[in-house]
Copies of this chain bind each other. A is one copy, B any other.
């Protein structure tokens, strides 16, 4: 047991103090040393709690001085994560996914659902254009030779080097290039699970995982997940000790849809648990590079002693959604996933792999990420402000640690699936909460995307969502 519950308790306590005006705007927070003594915890716990408050806009760090209270961008309570057990057949979830997907692919919709903006303005398109032109001229065989797994060595080397910023020590040989993070997850699941197995996952979880579990004949157990600190490790440990899980899927850094990031101690504990119990953990991290902090936090994989963590990510949320390039560092399952990739889809187009590798080699990705993070942070703050102002009283929302997604919890009897249908008919797409649970939970929740420019059309669409929310 670590101080996980205490850490959350501390954060909640301070938020209450700030929200109730006990500690006021501009006031200095207790020094770390003082707070340690007060709460009888380690300096690192205090620091992490302060960082979490900072990420959520309650306090700010001033160099050489300490942490000061600032006016929160929007005084929204966190979702209470009530688990409404509305009966919702999984067929309904799958149908909804299909409706969202169809709408996302169509023109003329106001999209509040995608986790990645349309249009080329957000990405280094000009660089890609030049590199593509040069590569296809100098190496036409990139377009014609049969590619084989594990994919471009040059790209794998770049990916391995970049995982250093996540605290990992990986080599090019550890990496398999996949068709986006989606295929990385699919291959990882097929490598570690057999038909009839049970997988532990966060609740809510990434919706595309649910039909995947179903198609592979896997059962799931949904583990309570805190909107700030992620999966409850106490609940997980209980399941592990009862031998009820064959594998775990988690998004410990910038969770989709919650935007939560597990504290470092929790990540260490999670790595220890899966290594002790010898249970594979699929660490799904496509949004991790969009963590708002100056540098992304360590991955669980960073603390993986015996190769039980399979780390999945991609460049689809950060750099080149159209390239369909993801990757998988599968630890002890390395050769299993290679074989599965060979038999399941062979490999990705070399030309695009080399274009991406070229971009990563010559730098610029970090600068690009900084701009994207800042942009998303601003958008999310604005979106939270909008929700606080226009949504009905009793609405909760996440305070994401990164990315461009906001999880909104409406009061009691709201039915976001019904809202989704009304909005779809008006050519507006949101993602209803039921899609994030195999059990049909979260019927009063929805995911909004803040990745788009704050245009009039976007605001009008948001106002319409708010109007329906107030009516429900």
Contact = CB atoms under 8 A, between A and B. Distances in A.
Contacts of A343: 182, 186, 208-209, 211-212, 215
A137 interface: yes
Contacts of A94: 339
A116 interface: yes
The contact size tier of chain A is 35 or more
Contacts of A211: 339-340, 342-343
A42 B149 CA distance: 50
A183 B345 contact: yes
Contact of A144 (B97, B119, B144): B119
Contacts of A183: 179, 344-346
Interface in A142-169: 142-149
A38 to B, nearest CB: 48
A352 B147 CA distance: 15
Contact of A143 (B129, B178, B215, B338): B129
A146 B186 CA distance: 19
A345 B342 CA distance: 14
Nearest to A347: B324
Contacts of A339: 94, 97-98, 211, 215
A176 to B, nearest CB: 13
A120 B141 contact: yes
A95 to B, nearest CB: 10
Interface stretch (A55-63, A303-311, A315-323): A315-323
Interface string A72-110: 000000000000000000000010011001001100000
A327 B215 CA distance: 20
A449 B179 CA distance: 29
A321 B344 CA distance: 16
Contact of A122 (B119, B120, B144): B144
Contacts of A338: 98
B104 A148 contact: yes
A280 B307 CA distance: 40
A153 B141 CA distance: 27
Contact of A125 (B140, B186, B212, B324): B140
B120 A320 contact: no
A119 B137 contact: no
A217 B105 CA distance: 34
A136 interface: yes
A344 B182 contact: yes
Contacts of A332: none
Contacts of A348: 179, 324
Contacts of A114: 146
A440 to B, nearest CB: 18
Contact of A140 (B120, B178, B212): B120
Contact of A128 (B128, B143, B146, B149): B143
Interface in A112-127: 114, 116, 118-120, 122-123, 125-126
A193 to B, nearest CB: 11
A114 to B, nearest CB: 7
Contacts of A320: 143-144
Contacts of A340: 211, 215
A180 interface: yes
Given A217-B195, A345-B183, A324 B147 contact: yes
A421 interface: no
A216 to B, nearest CB: 8
A351 interface: yes
Given A148-B104, A349-B322, A349-B323, A342 B97 contact: yes
A132 B321 CA distance: 17
A194 interface: yes
A350 interface: yes
Contacts of A178: 345
A370 interface: no
A295 interface: no
